Structure 1
Amino acid sequence: MPDSPMTVALDAEEFKQDRYGFIEHLRAQSFYARTPDGGTIFYNQEDVAEIFKCRDFRFYFEGIDETKSPYLKKAIDHELLNMHGVSHDRLSRLVKIALRDRIVDGMRQSIEAISRDLTAAFPNTGEVEFCADFADPLPSRVLGPMFDVPYVETEGLNDWIKVGGRKLDALQTGVGIEKVEEANRRIHTYLRDLLSERRENPGEDLFSELIQAEIDGDRMSEDEIVYLSAELASAGVDTTRTQLPLILLALLQHPDELEKLRAEPGLALRAVDEGMRFAPLPWAIPHQATGELEYKGLKFRKGDVAYALVPGANRDPSAVKDPQNFNITREGRSRNFSFGAGMHACPGAQLARMEMSVALHDLVSEFSTIRLLERPDWEPGHEGRGLRTLKLHVERGAEHRRPQ
């Protein structure tokens, strides 16, 4: 074991200037690095996978001040992502019963129709702003079939989710906390009212399946259904909204791969997986040691923090052939940690992958030309992680041209 790992802050300028080059520099020194306050950073797949198993570590939100809003802290504590051990195992099994293939596949037709409606609004030839014109409305409209409610109702729900999803930032900084709490209260009230209705008249939607999921007589409580549904909706909307533009940008910056997909749109799901490996949304996922332990010669005390650096794991040269290359036809499925892994793999991953693959399939099938108009505009402070705008020039293929 190298005895001189580097010490580096996770917001260091070196990451902003050349994220992957700097990660490889860290990797060359040791299999781990340290943060200035004594945290441990892991970036190899083997180590990140071990952290995500959550046997000796558990997911951890840093810097939360629950006195700012006990209501938001309760909501976070009830999310599947934050649970550990027996309580997590129980709820996770119930969720898997609800998220059966029949339900997810049954939503495909609705998602395909939503995607077609959005691309139909694009000009035959002209400019589109992909984030606002497609990536934002696609997942918000999927809330309709997810809860089996009219789209007009999901518009308000989507607005609340946009604001309410900032629970962590609000509890850490206090910024906008009143609006975030109000949005969460609105989401939870809406879902409790819907729950009362669906108990009497269950449907074929995901929400109804969560209500009815049962193992040996055990079902979710009202709080569990409400908080979990809000978590799934938020994760499904925000992940797709933010990750899809990153995948499309990777394709546009690798025109040979875009042409592969255009020639064979059935590769769309593989393009999603490779895009999430190559251009992941998550950064460093913090976990806490649940007790004293030793891992690869490193000693941890209870409460010590270990960070799973997702971009590093996704491009680990010991686990991925040519990891710096973007290749949608690479052998096997592109393993990535963008949806987590192990105990805390995202329960909505299957649905989000389907949404994004449907979108890519439609885009390359419908448009003979898709190209960048200008350099993408990144979210402030999140360069390389989230796009604010992605302006494109599109030209519809002759067989798909619409009357204007």
Structure 2
Amino acid sequence: MKSNAEVEKKFLKDPLPFIEEARGILNGVVRRTPTERSRTFSRILKGNVYLKMEVLQSTGSFKIRGAYNKIYHLPDSVRRRGVVASSTGNHAQGVAYAASLFDIPATIVMPRNTAIPKIEATRGYGAKVVLAGNNLTEAYEHAQKIVEKEGMTLIHPYDDPYIIAGQGTIGLEIMEDVPEGEHIVVPVGGGGLITGIAIAAKSVKEDVKVTGVQAKGACAFYISRKAGRLMETPSVHTIADGIAVKTPGRLTLELSSRYVDQVTTVDDEEISGAILMLMERAKLMVEGAGAASLAASLYGKIDVQGTTSIFLLSGGNIDPMVVARIIEKGLLKAGRILFIRCLLPDRPGELSDVLRMVSDLEGNVREISVSRLSPQAPLNQAVLELTVETKGCNHSQEVLHRLKNSGIKLL
């Protein structure tokens, strides 16, 4: 068995054979997800747009590729002792599922604030889940203690040749599906995914452009590339928890300088907008990390006009509560939810008159609140608050105009 240092040295010198080997190993284990042309996003972005659907992968994300490939390469005696990983979700499920396929024990350390659906999904693959720490860094430190105590093998989420190689098989699939592809856009956390894809894609077509997209609230890879060395962000704050890492990988940063063309960032509002648009236009449920790639083009961070571009939708494991908030915020931003606050005389019939006006304009009242004790309510008046579903910004303005013209004082 070669040492980790020997494997890394060989991988850095010539990574492509690792990816080609991984493809054979993963054949029949992972799904060869489709790369589909999107008429909607082709029209919006004025290009030839394809979506690589890793949202349809086993466990709901690409992570099974690298996890299985890494575990496969462990010596049998080491593998039987089991594996450990720290993750908020996708890597956890990938390692748990891969371990179940090898029939070995897996312990997954997750931060205490991890979404319940992700915890239950990981347990559902047969892994032991340990909740420790308030973030991924603290969870990773706890995972290392388990390794030292129990002799299990730590499966790193991105900074490992076999992990990178497993993720790189996506690049081979993309270039087979879209050989005319000119630009591949990939979400970036620690860098394992984009590095593997870039190596594979450029081995097929040297001039294909590969762009990474990070969440602005977790942009360690972005700032590290700019600095030319590993940099750590003091904290991470983003809805894209699948790419929320504080430090990129040593291997991934070195390889990205050779294979990745550029990296940009998007904020949570832009990611939310992309999630909502994918739900509405493509009927796809995509998590924050997975939607980051498309968000970059939708909000003008990268221009794909006139080109054949492939956007990787890396995963679909999103907390339903987050989805609900994104939908609400998206509807509000689109003017399809209107909040009305106004003063009403405190006498019978006034409320019904307001509701009738809204109804006549085909507004749908969702919530009503009336307060006579509000500091803004003079004696014999009340503050009325309405939440109304409308058809958009113009319709919302029409409702407000009607109320104002009827003599109602809007607050």
Q: RCO higher in 1 or 2 (8 Å CA, sep ≥ 6)?
A: 1
Q: Do they superpose with TM above 0.5?
A: no
Q: TM-score normalised to the size of structure 2? A: 0.28
Q: Which has the greater radius of gyration?
A: 2
Higher share of residues assigned strand: 2
Q: Calculate the TM-score normalised by the size of structure 1.
A: 0.28
Query: More helix by proportion, 1 or 2?
Result: 1
